[in-house]
Amino acid sequence: MNKTKIILIVVAVLIIGFSIFSSINPVDIKDIVYSPPKNIVANENYVSVEGTWLPQNSRENNFFRDKEVNTSSIHCDKQLQTCNEARAIITQLESGSLQYGFYTHNFDYEVKEWTDSYLRAEHVGAGRVFDLTINFQNKTAVLNVKDNQDNPTASAYTDTAILGK
């Protein structure tokens, strides 16, 4: 069983336990859900990244929100020129509510640049463009999200998260 499946199972069990616990004693989900620590491992042909995306903007309607717990696992292959991200998210359904949702996302990125010091990859969706940069030297990962300008309803929307914890 790979790490992503294990993480998803653990998160699902935590959601069930949290829903029972929160009906008795309301708490913030971030106080009881464990996110794995940030880990970036890179060699000349492969990169593995795990951690939690931390929003850099505090607007409520951004792609990344302060009121959620998320964990991501990213694997990049230089020969295939691809990165795959599996993300699990627990988020509050309504502000002030004790109801939470559990979501999973899978993103396939196309590597645009891969040097000795960093890689940059991109996922283009119908509505959004995700630009992922992983710096091998300072062990950072940054994800920028913006509206896909090919979409007729595109705006000047942008959001940024850094991998942390």
Distance (Å, whole) CA 26 – CA 18: 9
Picking from 35-39, 67-71, 96-100, 158-162, which range would have the lowest pLDDT averaged per residue? 96-100
CB within 8 A of 121, min separation 6: which ones? 76, 82, 83, 109, 110, 111, 112, 131, 132
The mean pLDDT value for 55-80 works out to 81
CATH number, domain 3-164: 2.40.128
Q: Which of 20-29, 34-43, 88-97 has the highest mean predicted lDDT (pLDDT)?
A: 34-43
Distance (Å, whole) CA 85 – CA 105: 8
**Residue ranges per structural domain of the chain:** 3-164
- pLDDT band for position 33 (50/70/90)? low
pLDDT at 6 over 90: no
pLDDT at 18 over 60: no
pLDDT at 109 over 90: yes
Model pLDDT for residues 86-106, shown as the tens digit of each residue = 998 888 777 667 778 888 989
The pLDDT of residue 21 is 47
The mean pLDDT value for 136-152 works out to 87
Distance (Å, whole) CA 36 – CA 15: 16
